[in-house]
Every structure is written in C-alpha cells, then in structure tokens.
C-alpha cells in the first residue's frame, strides 16, 4: 500500500513500554479504538507479553514486535517463523546482511521485516569502539541499500534521516520513526525529536510514540490528537 493510502490512525504506533501484561491490558482498554497499532518490545515481551501479540491481532489490532533479532541465519529464520505465527505485522532485526536475508526468507505472507540500520544511541566513537571503520552516516546509508537489495520491507530511522533514506530506497520502503514529540510535550531522553506533522511531511510512513501517549493524563485524547495531526498533514 502506498503511504498516502495508509489510514492516519494506522500510522500511529503506540509503544506499550510497561512492565507487565496487566498494565498493558489496562492501557489498551483506556485507549480503545483511538489506537490501531501497538509496539511490544523487550520489556513487555520478556514479561509474559508474547501471548498479547496473538490476542491483539485476533481483536483486529496490529502489532509491531520490536525484538531486534540478530543471530546465525537458521536461528533468525526459526525466530521469525514463530513471531509470524503470533500474528505480528512488523518485526525488527539488526541490519546485518545474513540476518536480513534469513528474516526476509522466513517471514511468510503477512509479517513485514523492519531493519534497524545503526542504533540511534551510537555515534562515530561508539562505532569505532565496536570495530567499524565507517561513520554512522555512511553505515546507515550502506545498510539501507543492502536492506533494499535483500527485500526488507522497512527501516526504523530517526525523522531526520527519512528524506535521505527515502532517496536511497525508493517509495516502497516503509520508514518507521520513533523520537516523535507533539509540540509542548516533554522530550525525555530523546535527543533528535520531531513533531508528528513534521515527521509525516518529511516522508515517514509510521510514527512510534511512547511516553507522550503512555504518560499523558488522558492517553486516549493524546493519541487522538496525534492521529488528527497526521490526518491534517496528509490531506
């Protein structure tokens, strides 16, 4: 589906960054039909949250499984098959060629693979310390091109990287951006932030939002406002 055809409500992905399933269920009930797409990561996934993926999927919601897989190809493939069976829509892997290839081959018909190029907490010094002799910018671009060649469905990137990655990968690549802050909300530990409207205008397909919704006094209202902002910047 072309990004412009994805309904605004589906372009908001709320990060269920909570410690247990009970807290997740309470938040899902509060958000009701304001949210269509949820992200489940290490914290909730490893705290009994995996069955919640199936549960959300069977109730018509979409789930982004943010598990950032990276292992030998065979192990990645088996993990991807298991996540696909849970009914997730997106699954992240680290953007190493073997890992991306194995994940794409094992994903089946309904799961889409997103690659994380370089973690946004890494700068050039961190890359050098990890043994890479490339800058963050060059490695992000090289890995985006590899992802494109290997048939990866999307990339997780900061809103600032969207325009450049779109030019490298073309219109079909799903660009999914965290670090989103509606005007006036607290930045927390995010350093490179953008408002929903600006990120959409820059070409992001999906926005991942955690604290601005999860910690709002009225989470449903906060989610609805973000959806309205996405809608306004696409119409």
Residue window 192-231: x/- pattern of binding to ligand C5P, with contact defined by CB under 6 A: ----------------xxxxx-------------------
> Nearest approach, Cβ of 39 to ligand C5P (angstroms)?
6
- Dig out the tokens for 85 from the structure: 């069976």
Residue whose Cβ sits closest to ligand C5P: 210
Q: Give me the phi and psi of 13, to 5 degrees please.
A: -115, 115
Q: Which of 39, 68, 101, 164 is catalytic?
A: 68
Cα 206 to chain centroid, rounded = 7
Considering the complex, state which of residue 77 and residue 83 has its C-beta at the smaller distance from ligand C5P. Answer: 83
Residue 68 known to be catalytic: yes
Q: Closer to ligand C5P by CB, 94 or 166: give it.
A: 94
Task: Please return the burial class of 129, using the count of CB atoms within 10 Å of its CB with bins 0-12, 13-18 and 19+.
Answer: exposed
111 binding ligand C5P? (CB under 6 A) = no
Backbone angles phi, psi at 153, to 5 degrees: -80, -30
CB-based burial, 191-214: b 16+ in 10 Å, e otherwise: eebbbbbbbbebbbbbbbbbbbbb
Residue 49 touches ligand C5P, criterion: CB under 6 A:
no
Between CA 107 and CA 83 the distance in angstroms is 9
Quick note: the x/- pattern for ligand C5P over 165-184, rule CB under 6 A, is -------------xx-----
Q: Which is nearer to ligand C5P, 64 or 102 (CB)?
A: 64
Residues binding ligand C5P (CB under 6 A): 15, 17, 41, 120, 156, 178-179, 188, 190, 208-212
């Amino acid at each position: 589906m072309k990004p412009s055809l994805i309904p605004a409500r589906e372009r908001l992905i709320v990060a269920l960054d909570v410690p247990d399933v009970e807290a997740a269920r309470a938040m899902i009930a509060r958000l009701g039909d304001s949210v269509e797409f949820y992200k489940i990561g290490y914290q909730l996934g490893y705290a009994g949250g995996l069955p919640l993926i199936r549960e959300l999927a069977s109730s018509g919601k979409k789930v982004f499984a943010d598990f950032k897989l990276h292992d030998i190809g065979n192990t990645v493939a088996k993990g991807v098959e298991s996540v696909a069976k849970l009914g997730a829509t997106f699954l992240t892997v680290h953007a190493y060629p073997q890992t991306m290839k194995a994940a794409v081959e094992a994903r089946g018909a309904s799961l889409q693979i997103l690659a994380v190029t370089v973690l946004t907490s890494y700068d050039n010094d961190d890359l050098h310390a990890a043994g890479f002799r490339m800058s963050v910018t060059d490695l992000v671009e090289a890995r985006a091109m590899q992802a494109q060649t290997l048939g990866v469905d999307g990339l997780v990137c900061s809103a600032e990287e969207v325009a450049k990655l779109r030019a490298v990968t073309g219109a079909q690549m799903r660009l999914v951006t965290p670090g989103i802050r509606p005007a006036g909300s607290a930045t927390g530990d995010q350093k490179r932030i953008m408002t929903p409207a600006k990120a959409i205008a820059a070409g992001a397909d999906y926005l991942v939002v955690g604290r601005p919704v999860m910690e709002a006094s009225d989470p449903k209202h906060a989610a609805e406002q973000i959806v309205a902002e996405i809608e306004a910047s696409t119409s």
